[in-house]
Amino acid sequence: MTRYIFVAGGVISGVGKGVATASIGKILQSKGFQVSAMKIDPYVNVDAGTLNPLEHGEVFVTNDGTECDQDVGNYERFLNQDFSTANYLTTGRVYQSVIAKERNLEYGGKTVEVGLHIPEEVISRLQLVAEHDHADFVLVEVGGTVGDYQNVLFLEAARLLKRRIQENVLFVLVTYLPVPGNLGEMKTKPTQHAVRALNAAGIQPDFILARSAFLVDEPRKRKISDFCNVDPQDVISAPDVESIYEIPVNLEEEDLGNRILEKFHIKPREKDLADWRKLVEVIGKKGKPEVRIGIVGKYFEIGDFTLMDSYLSVIEACKAAAWRFSSEPKITWLSAEQYEKNPEQVQELEQYDGVIVPGGFGTRGVEGKIKAIEYCRTRQIPYFGLCLGLQLAIIEFARNVCGVKDATSREFDADAENPVIDVMEEQKALLAEKKYGATMRLGAYEAELKKDTIAYGAYKTTKISERHRHRYEVENSYRDLLEQHGFVISGVNPQRNLVEIGELSNHPFFLGTQFHPELTSRPLQPHPLFLAFLEAAIKRREKQGQRG
């Protein structure tokens, strides 16, 4: 029997529903249950693949090649589990399948109605997740904020499911309690309104997860309890934390796990977040030696604000590996476009222990990234290229070492004479017909590794499988030239003979991957390549320490 826990958000967006969902899942998993999670995004896009990262943060990719919301990445990282297309839903996906069914006469000539058939389709998707992941619990995160009209049909599906299987459905409302600076007092009114809005959708929350800058005190818990119809012990305090990984531990302090089980009439179980607690201890330990990682990118400036969301998995992968070495990750954003305007500025990379060029699309910032890569290569600074970061490392090497001065990627120049990175054959027709959605080389593909390479040293096996998201690839006709000049192709996809990993041997760490290793790094299981990169970065730090 599967139980469903819906997690909705109130008051403001960005209140931390995703991490709350993942944390509740972690707690139940640690009590020995099989847990699955689903993200529902209210937007009409069929998937996140066509969204600009500045618009919606990182596009996460699952093994089966689904381009989805970054919260699915949070679920994978917290639960240390692989998810798939079943774990992600959007308004676009729901309508697409309802319309396809209607065209196939699957509704038997009935009028297909928004208020009826759309929630039914959502419910059938929820049941699919339960079956697919053999879940005791399915956590369902409803995107958006209660009171929006965009997610009303998802709340309607939740209400209907509750109506049908009463005691097997619970609702958690994650709200925000502001402490206005001029008042210096935590206010509960917005939460009361959010609960009213949820009530208007026919839903009574079982738990209120009260996000705030501080712990929620007893008088306020009682007030929320009185006005919102929940027991005071079901108003769970979730204050701001330094690291999101503390949250499962904090929620367990409030005994959330057993309160959930109680409501489902399941006997309480021992808390056991042993591994997780150990991790949180390492994260919180003060005075760890810092390791400085620079990320040269472009998807992080919006007006006066710097957003880290676009590279979320890269950051988390760096952190996980740094913590494994009991180091404090210090991650800095470096603007590729600045290096184009002012090439001298690239010398600032000297201060870093390691540099990453992450994934990216289009020409903006590309020449700046190439300058950064050249600097890292010639100055022996550990360099890790992810997808575009591999492609640009090859362009840089072709130009500056092999002497192919006009080497570039077809992505930046349709008429390139020397496209060392070229469009993949099967992509040509797709691009010509503007079929952009879900058509990249997506998801997990195999690679075979060459022994005696950095890659093999990290993985300690010759067969790997990693997740992809790209349209361009290393043009094989340039491989000989690259190798003659010392570039090592250390990983190749055996089915298609595509370059998957490239590296340099006369360097402390210089490696790029066509795939995205950051997507499979987990806090309790850092990715082997991130570990190898961080190890090299820490060595550089130590050497510099001796010098300094």
CA distances from 156 to 12, 149, 202, 226 (A): 21, 11, 8, 25
Beta-carbon contacts of residue 287 (< 8 Å; ≥ 6 apart): none
Q: Binders of ligand GLN among 389-408, rule CB under 6 A?
A: 391
- 490 by DSSP, 3-state: which? strand
What whole-number distance in Å separates Cα of residue 67 and Cα of residue 84? 10
Beta-carbon contacts of residue 423 (< 8 Å; ≥ 6 apart): 410, 411, 431, 471, 472
Judge contact between 49 and 440, C-beta under 8 A: yes
Q: Nearest distance from residue 74's CB to ligand GLN, in Å?
A: 20
For residue 472, state whether it binds ligand GLN (rule: CB under 6 A). yes
Q: Nearest distance from residue 511's CB to ligand GLN, in Å?
A: 15
Active site residue 281: no
Pick from 359, 508, 517, 523 the residue near ligand GLN by CB under 6 A: 359
Active site residue 67: no
Among the listed residues 117, 507, 516, 527, the single catalytic one is 516
- Which residues share a beta bridge with 446? 465
Pick from 95, 107, 361, 456 the residue near ligand GLN by CB under 6 A: 361
Place of tokens 């206005």: 180
Pick from 25, 257, 297, 360 the residue near ligand GLN by CB under 6 A: 360
Beta-carbon contacts of residue 89 (< 8 Å; ≥ 6 apart): 38, 39, 40, 41, 122, 125
Choose between 6 and 383: whose C-beta lies nearer to ligand GLN: 383
What whole-number distance in Å separates Cα of residue 295 and Cα of residue 314? 9
Q: Nearest distance from residue 516's CB to ligand GLN, in Å?
A: 7
Q: Nearest distance from residue 327's CB to ligand GLN, in Å?
A: 27
For residue 512, state whether it binds ligand GLN (rule: CB under 6 A). no
Q: Nearest distance from residue 43's CB to ligand GLN, in Å?
A: 21
- Tell me 525's DSSP state: B
Beta-carbon contacts of residue 338 (< 8 Å; ≥ 6 apart): 345, 368
* 120 burial type by CB count under 10 A (0-12 exposed, 13-18 middle, 19+ buried): middle
Choose between 56 and 277: whose C-beta lies nearer to ligand GLN: 56
What whole-number distance in Å separates Cα of residue 372 and Cα of residue 351? 13
Beta-carbon contacts of residue 415 (< 8 Å; ≥ 6 apart): none
Among the listed residues 68, 318, 387, 402, the single catalytic one is 387
Among the listed residues 475, 518, 527, 535, the single catalytic one is 518
Instruction: Write the secondary structure of 66-115 as one string of H (helix), E (strand) and C (coil).
Output: CEECHHHHHHHHHHCCCCCHHHEEEHHHHHHHHHHHHHCCCCCCCCCCHH
For residue 68, state whether it binds ligand GLN (rule: CB under 6 A). no
Phi, psi of 246 (to 5 degrees): -75, -20
Judge contact between 441 and 424, C-beta under 8 A: yes
Judge contact between 335 and 545, C-beta under 8 A: no
* Interface region with ligand GLN, contact rule CB under 6 A, candidates 87-95, 193-201, 335-343, 356-364: 356-364
Pick from 31, 259, 467, 471 the residue near ligand GLN by CB under 6 A: 471
* Binding track, positions 409-448, relative to ligand GLN; x by CB under 6 A: --x-------------------------------------
Q: Nearest distance from residue 314's CB to ligand GLN, in Å?
A: 11
Q: Nearest distance from residue 391's CB to ligand GLN, in Å?
A: 6
* Binding track, positions 233-272, relative to ligand GLN; x by CB under 6 A: ----------------------------------------
Q: Nearest distance from residue 514's CB to ligand GLN, in Å?
A: 8
How far, in whole angstroms, is CA 116 from its chain's centroid? 33
* Interface region with ligand GLN, contact rule CB under 6 A, candidates 216-224, 254-262, 430-438, 469-477: 469-477
Beta-carbon contacts of residue 262 (< 8 Å; ≥ 6 apart): 268
Choose between 117 and 471: whose C-beta lies nearer to ligand GLN: 471
Phi, psi of 460 (to 5 degrees): 55, 35
Instruction: Single out the residue of 508, 502, 507 nearest to residue 487, CA to CA.
Output: 502
Q: Nearest distance from residue 360's CB to ligand GLN, in Å?
A: 5
* Interface region with ligand GLN, contact rule CB under 6 A, candidates 16-24, 37-45, 182-190, 463-471: 463-471
Pick from 470, 479, 507, 541 the residue near ligand GLN by CB under 6 A: 470
Rg (CA), the chain: 25
Choose between 214 and 436: whose C-beta lies nearer to ligand GLN: 436
* Interface region with ligand GLN, contact rule CB under 6 A, candidates 83-91, 219-227, 311-319, 359-367: 359-367
Q: Binders of ligand GLN among 372-391, rule CB under 6 A?
A: 387-388, 391
Active site residue 516: yes
CA distances from 355 to 118, 140, 497 (A): 47, 37, 28
* Interface region with ligand GLN, contact rule CB under 6 A, candidates 41-49, 355-363, 372-380, 399-407: 355-363
The catalytic residue positions are 387, 516, 518
Q: Which residues contact ligand GLN by CB under 6 A?
A: 359-361, 387-388, 391, 411, 469-472
